[in-house]
Structure 1
């Protein structure tokens, strides 16, 4: 898959959910999360198939979660190793990092 990435979709299933990018070939890049109470979410997993590699898909998914958490006054626990690495790289996200 090359070119511009599709829009990120949010699938909200109550206590759990995911952000997903769907490619025209059916490939899906996803970042799953779990809600912890009213003010925290845990990023559980980020999965980026080969069709999306090298296009910044994983970073876009985590950045969207950061934007949404910030807008909702929530904090994030990045259990997923990829998400945790992105939080270390992006110090500007410290306001939504759960302590």
Structure 2
């Protein structure tokens, strides 16, 4: 699924007026700011969803999660990380406990 999403974003980057290309042409600080902004919006949406558990608030929480994933994918592309590197790290983590992994950082 992540591979499919990254391919969609990469295709959008080819469009000269896309938001993706706008982000990639701006500096790294802009992208980081956007990621933190999306995290904050997820927190706000999550708080509303916890209070008013309805499909309307669930929908906005899902939208904010998508926004964060999008900006993280742009971050991956910006830094030229490969999916292989990310998958390799996920696989490495499946072989050890979370506590042990954090302790070894």
- Asked whether the two chains share a fold, i.e. TM above 0.5, the reply is no
Higher relative contact order (CA 8 A, sep 6+): 2
TM-score (normalizing by structure 1): 0.31
Quick check: which one's helix share is greater? 2
Quick check: which one's strand share is greater? 1
Higher radius of gyration, 1 or 2 = 2
TM-score (normalizing by structure 2): 0.30
